[in-house]
Amino acid sequence: MQVTRQCKHCQHKLCAKRVPIFSTMSTEEINEITDLIIRKSYAKGEAIITEGETIDRLIIINSGKAKGCKYSIDGKEQILYLYSDGDFFGERNLLTNLKASYSIVALEAVHVCMILKADIRQLIKNHPEIGLKIMEELTIKLERLENTIEQMGTRTVEIRVIGALLEFAEKFGMEKETGRMVALPLSREGIASYIGVTRETVSRSMNALDEEGLIKIIGNKKVFIENMAALKNRFSETKL
């Protein structure tokens, strides 16, 4: 892990402005926030936050991808969240002394900007709208967990895979002339951990979707979706 005050990775962009809770603030207010930022870099596989750790900061991902995950006693991983450029975490602990309920691990080289808890609390006092935005983010994450639980209980494996692909397309996809190219943030094993199935099941489901023409698998790292509407319809209509 490297700690810096100067961040070449920002490329003269204010990373704070990319975060939803700060996005409506003025340039003067953003400059106030930027002065509080501490920057760190993490290598692939390095823990940014460890489950059980006391979090005393808000952490913004400036570049790179990370996963939020928990580990069972026997070491089995369950991926709960995926994070990329502009995402943030640690907000749950800003107004409490709760310890981290899951770990955050870098999926690739990750550069983050951090604001200490005491500074964020003062910002909320000065700018109450930040507190409201934090509540919105907590609601979104809670909804994500509720949807995951629902899918595990009421959706077929194929639909869980489609749901993950649609999420990846929204978060990591790039629009092309004939469809959407999706850079998969996780391996087949990682996707399995994310949706609660086995790696072999993920591979079979993706191959079946490819054969059906709903997706085109490109190596192990990419998927091309020519018809997003058809994939969304399948996700919405098909249940156990």
State how far the Cα of 55 lies from the Cα of 197, in Å rounded to an integer: 31
- Maximum Cα interatomic distance, the chain, rounded to a whole number of Å: 56
For 72-128, the pLDDT digits (tens) are 888 888 998 899 988 888 877 777 788 888 999 999 999 998 989 888 888 888 888
SS3 (DSSP) at 118: helix
Q: 103 with 51: CB under 8 angstroms?
A: yes
The SS3 call for residue 114 is strand
pLDDT at position 130, please? 78
Q: What is the pTM of this model?
A: 0.80
- pLDDT, tens digit (0-9, with 9 covering 90-100), for 28-75: 777 778 888 899 999 999 999 999 998 889 898 988 999 999 988 888
pLDDT level of residue 9 (50, 70, 90 thresholds): very low
